[in-house]
Amino acid sequence: MKRNLSKIFLVSLCLLMLIGTIPVAAKVPYTTYTYNVSMQAVESPDAYVPETVISTSSLIKSLNAEGNENTKIRYPDLATTLNLTTISDVFVDDLNWVYIVNKGANQILVCDERYNLKYVISEFINDQGVPDSLDGPSGVFISETEIYVADTENARIVIFDKVGSFKDIIPEPASEVFPDNSVYKPIALAIDNAGRVYVVSSTTNYGVISLNRDGSFNGFLGAQKVTPNMWQYFWRIFQTPEQIAKQIKWVPTEYNNITIDDGGFIYVTTSSIDEGSQQAAIWSKSRSDKYAPVKKLNPNGSDVMRRTGFWPPSGEVLVNWGTESNTGASRIVDVALGPNGMWSIIDSKRQKIYTYDQDGKMLFIFGDYGMQVGDIQQIKAIDYQGSNIIAVDTTANLLMVYKRTEYGDLIGEALQNTLENKHQNAVSYYINILQRNNNFAQAYVGVGKSKLMSGEYEQAMKYFQYASDKENYSLAFAEARKIWIEKYVFIVPLAIIIIAFLINKFFKYANKINKKGQVMKAKRTLLEEYLYGFHIIFHPFDGFWDLKHEKRGSVKGATLMLFLTVLAFLYQSIGRGYLFDSNSTNVNYFIAITSVAMPVMLWVTANWCLTTLFDGEGSYKDVYVTTCYALTPLPMLIVPMAFIANFVTLTEADLVNMVVQLAFVWTGFLIFFGMMVIHDYSLFKNIVTSLGSIVGMAFIMFVAALFSSLLMKIFSFGYNIYIELSLRM
């Protein structure tokens, strides 16, 4: 018995020891998330977790690391004098060595891949043989053989070799392009494979300064275009010269950071775009670079960045507005290029890192303000070290190193296979991702592309629909439609012939009934009144004249026309197919009905009120009947176009939209000339009263809103009195 108890105890002890060796995932102090197509923040697994911190103490400690004796000998006082203060930039070279711009101490600290401090760049003998030093350096860039430092306060670029020895100075560029009173303050730079130097100056708003290796001026790249709106032009007419001089000039905004990829494309960021315009561009899903805080410039300075995601790559999508520092549009202050086509930007308002793929699709967002390991108090710069990310916290005076997780590795492998067009290989990674995060849209797109290439078009369409990717859905749909047409090659032309024949017969029948109605004196049926609308749309002048004077229509027929128009818009809301309506299952029927009926009734009321004052001959009934009959082209064209929309691709959608727009224009002309006929107005008078009617519609809406607000206040007042009396009784 004792022997059995001893065995049980030993087995239990071993199990406890094994349990103790199982790694437990540390809880990170931030939430990783992304945004779906509905502007909802969707939580996802952590793609990056904090790994280590580079601080003053860790760098001093590294001086005693094995193999770092030479550094300690070279800088005997460094252990007591080293102090990270106001870190302004970080750069990782091809060997994964880390270069830290310690701006507050006028130093460039060079560390190996394990963050052991190797040497310091600060003081040197310049090309004149005079002792010199850095003064307020802000940025650094490392080429294959040289270190370029943006020596901001000295207004120059200083070049060192890879062991920290001085090589050359690129002075302030001289050119007639620069204004006489301009100040040159280089804060960031990048070097292309040809040795050209691209400089961002904090006081230059003409774009990126392009210099040759000898410092000669090449020109500007990517100047931010600013186009004043009509209101600004109009308001300036009434301003005094003093007011014009004091106002903000209509000049381009400046960039704040820069980096470059292996292909010579320059990535630049700016934080001086109007916040309202920047956020409006995000919410409108703009693919333009006009209000983009990050751009990808080709050698000609044109933006070539792909913005094909749900939301453009501009940082936070759903923001609050207020006076707090972390509200409003993102303030983008740096961009870094990573492996597998990934790239990241940072938001200095929210201390977050936003990562995208090569097409500008959001992959994940992480980071937050705080003082725990992994949090950042004030993010300033970012760079990739392999798959790791190093972020500068300029307030805490440290660098946070984030390690890519298994989930992040899966995304990286999937993107890499996609870049190499190995879509079949990428599928296994995408499926793995979906098992961990079924909200990751790019995974559905990846599987869909694989299905598309293998000819499984209907399956591909399903995956693209899951990802709300209409462009790829359209491609798959086009292939599936081609197969269907080849299979039923005789049915399609036969169906077109039958439909054309039925349309022709319908119009002949309507014409016959309308001609019969010209001599008929008996009471007309509702069908006859309805069919008269098809005479009006082709003969508006005599049609509206007979509508009023010969009583060819009635309130009942007009109401039927309005009802059919409402039904047409309802069908359009739910029946156009995925490419036109991705949220057809969430249609608000009340809004769909009122969006048609309310404008009609507002127009009728406003037009009658105005024309009564301007000798209009039409009654309220005449205006209502004429307006409703003028709606005839809308259901006539919207219904078939909504049906056809189920069978067209995105490239063919313009034709459908053009026909729908034609219906609205046609209806507008009918309403205009209908009012002209029933009121017996001249062309000029009808134009004036039509414009006045539109203004009247806005006025009626304003009065209605004011009246409803007043009623609500009266009701609230009465309810409060009732509550007060009930409490006192």
Q: Tokens for 576?
A: 């156009």
What confidence tier does 340 reach under pLDDT thresholds 50, 70, 90?
very high
Q: Where in the chain is the domain with CATH 2.120.10.30?
A: 42-404
Q: Tokens for 55?
A: 């601080």
User: Which range has the worst mean pLDDT, 23-27, 289-293, 534-538?
Assistant: 23-27
Sheet of strand 266-269, all strands in order from the earlier edge strand to the far edge: 257-260, 266-269, 294-297
Whether residue 138 has pLDDT greater than 50: yes
Q: Which CATH architecture has domain 42-404?
A: 6 Propeller (2.120)
User: What is the CA 573 to chain-centroid distance, rounded?
Assistant: 25
> What is the reported pLDDT for 364?
97
> What is the reported pLDDT for 23?
38
Whether residue 5 has pLDDT greater than 50: no
Q: Tokens for 215?
A: 């410092």
What confidence tier does 460 reach under pLDDT thresholds 50, 70, 90?
very high
Handedness of CA 325, 329, 332, 338 (dihedral sign): positive
The 10s digit of each residue's pLDDT in 304-325 is: 999 999 999 999 999 988 878 8
Q: What is the mean pLDDT of residues 570-599?
A: 82
The fold for domain 423-487 equals: 1.25.40
Q: How far apart are CA 262 and CA 202, in angstroms?
A: 25
Q: What is the mean pLDDT of residues 7-32?
A: 52
What confidence tier does 519 reach under pLDDT thresholds 50, 70, 90?
low
* Percent of residues, the chain, with pLDDT higher than 70: 91
Whether residue 476 has pLDDT greater than 90: yes
The 10s digit of each residue's pLDDT in 196-217 is: 999 999 888 889 999 998 889 9
Whether residue 702 has pLDDT greater than 80: yes
Handedness of CA 622, 627, 630, 632 (dihedral sign): negative
Q: What is the mean pLDDT of residues 30-42?
A: 94
What confidence tier does 16 reach under pLDDT thresholds 50, 70, 90?
very low
At which residue do the structure tokens 């938001």 appear? 347
> What is the reported pLDDT for 587?
73
DSSP letter string, 551-584 = --S-HHHHHHHHHHHHHHHHHHHHHS-TTT-TTG
- DSSP state, residue 371: S
Q: What are phi and psi of 215, to 5 degrees?
A: 95, -5
The 10s digit of each residue's pLDDT in 543-555 is: 898 888 888 888 9
Whether residue 569 has pLDDT greater than 80: yes
Q: What is the mean pLDDT of residues 350-371?
A: 96
More confident residue, 118 or 615: 118
Whether residue 245 has pLDDT greater than 60: no
Whether residue 474 has pLDDT greater than 70: yes
> What is the reported pLDDT for 12?
43
Global pTM reads 0.82
Q: Where in the chain is the domain with CATH 1.25.40.10?
A: 423-487
> What is the reported pLDDT for 674?
93
| Structure-derived torsion over alpha carbons of residues 718, 720, 723, 729, reported in degrees to the nearest 10 | -80
> What is the reported pLDDT for 246?
46
Interior angle at CA 291, CA 290 and CA 294, nearest 5: 100
Mean pLDDT of the chain: 88
